[in-house]
Amino acid sequence: MTIQTPDWVKHAVFYQIFPDRFARSERSRQSYINNANLEDWEAPPTHQGYKGGDFWGILEKLDYLQDLGITAIYFTPIFQSASNHRYHTHDYYQIDPILGGNDAFRAFLDAAHEKNLKVVLDGVFNHSSRGFFYFNDVLENGPNSPWLNWFRIIGWPLSPYDDTLPANYDAWAGVRSLPVFNHDHPDVQEYIMQIAEYWLKFGIDGWRLDVPSDIKTPGFWQQFRQRVKAVNPDAYIVGEIWDDASQWLDGTQFDGVMNYLFNEAAIAFAVGDRTVLKHVQSRNYFPYPTINAVGYADKIDKLLKLYDWQIQLTQLNLLGSHDTTRIITIADGDQKSVELCTLLLLTFPGAPSIYYGDEVGLPGEIDPDCRRVFPVESAWNQDIYQTHKQLIALRHKYIALRVGNYQTIHAEASVYVLTRTWENQELIIAINVGEEAATADIDGSKLQNQPDKLLFGKGAVKWDDQKHLHLAIPARTGLILG
């Protein structure tokens, strides 16, 4: 079977937005939200407080995103919910009123598409919430509810709030506010498929799937793909899988997953022993222990052999998300670590995804702290911002960085060197994670070109008559040759 994935994703640079925290517009708020009990915008975020970010505010930031080089946005959930992160869905057909409702999303989506920005939504289809109408009916009417079999009821009475009593229904991770759907029920399957179709017809460009591995019903994700692609063959389907995702990346289910395996390797190599372990040990990924260039090459080689190349090109590669400590905080504030990781991210096969604020050095520990509001410009780390802008621009300029062949050509101690090649376009990317300047002598006889123009970074470059490349790379930096 020839695996097909959406071409636009292979050329995309994603930006992940947590809608409550990115931007708040004062001009368009409906009167009954103007006086809402919102947290102060600049105050530290809390588990239950709302900041009031909205789609009108995000719309006003589209020029910023376009200037940065972003071509696609992934939103964490936006449907009506009783939580600031909105993973507790009340109504899958209504955009949360605090975000501006369906009208604000319509205006935003149209404006985004006018700027050629794609929009991917978070599909929370494993579980709903206590406020979800169908589950609420079960709470009100017990065994008489018409929706009884939509959920996995264990016994009676149900206890949705009192944790001194058994919940008596299946809830995600035991969290009572997240009742799990009974996906074996054909009506539940049809309900979820119709939600997916509805928003694709509304105009969205794809779905990111929350905890899809928890849905065990045979054929569910195959049917999901068929229904989604029937509406829009170019729609992107990306799953939240933190480890080897081979069973979902066979061409019949997802186009890619959130690539935490790349994240682990990049942090273990480029951040190395600066990694603050308390910030990473509470999540299901392992950007530790420290690895050298040989270890990084080995991890990347294994990762690139896991999936079909068409799948590799539509992986969603990331350095952080709403579920992880911010990259600069993991690195104990070390700016060079962030820049090195960003160089690895923007030159790797697959779609890079930047978690809002990472491009300006926004810090934050594990949630809710990693969900701070987007900072004012005076608080930006301009060096990190310029690094992102330069690397994103190079990725857009050189097709080899997007879909070109990837090959490790040198890995020794602190220095890792790779090539990205597309037809006669060849780029060399070299990175030195060490504390001291380093050199690398590379046999370039198998390369089709001898790129020597410094497109990014600093260092000395020399080719000799025997087609050997001699690189001198300053400490904790990287470069791109073209």
Residue 283: per-residue pLDDT: 84
- Which among 122, 240, 264, 358 is annotated as catalytic? 240
pLDDT at residue 31 in the model: 60
- The question of whether 39 is a catalytic residue gets the answer no
User: Which tokens sit at 416?
Assistant: 């890792």
Evaluate if pTM is beyond 0.95.
yes
Q: How far is CA 85 from CA 316, 322, 462, in A?
A: 21, 9, 52
Is 240 annotated as catalytic? yes
CATH 3.40.50.1820, applies to 7-126+183-397? no
Q: pLDDT value at position 33? A: 72
| CA-based radius of gyration for the chain | 23
Q: Which of 205, 210, 264, 323 is catalytic?
A: 210
E strand or H helix at 248: none
Domain 404-481, classified CATH 2.30.30.90, yes or no: no
Helix crossing, 220-231 with 186-202: angle to 10°?
A: 30
Terminal Cα-to-Cα distance of the chain (whole angstroms) = 36
User: Would you call 17 helix, strand, or coil by DSSP?
Assistant: strand
Ordered by start, the domain boundaries in the chain are: 7-126+183-397, 404-481
**Nearest C-alpha neighbor of 289 from the set 311, 265, 307:** 265
Walk along the chain (482 residues) and give the pLDDT tens digit of each residue.
Answer: 899 999 999 999 999 999 999 999 976 566 667 777 899 999 999 999 999 999 999 999 999 999 999 999 999 999 999 999 999 999 999 999 999 999 999 999 999 999 999 999 999 999 999 999 999 999 999 999 999 999 999 999 999 999 999 999 999 999 999 999 999 999 999 999 999 999 999 999 999 999 999 999 999 999 999 999 999 999 999 999 999 999 999 999 999 999 999 999 999 999 999 999 999 998 889 999 999 999 999 999 999 999 999 999 999 999 999 999 999 999 999 999 999 999 999 999 999 999 999 999 999 999 999 999 999 999 999 999 999 999 999 999 999 999 999 999 999 999 999 999 999 999 999 999 999 999 999 998 889 889 999 999 999 999 998 899 999 999 999 999 99
CA–CA dist 199, 281 (Å, integer): 36
Q: Which helix (H) or strand (E) holds 405?
A: strand 405-412
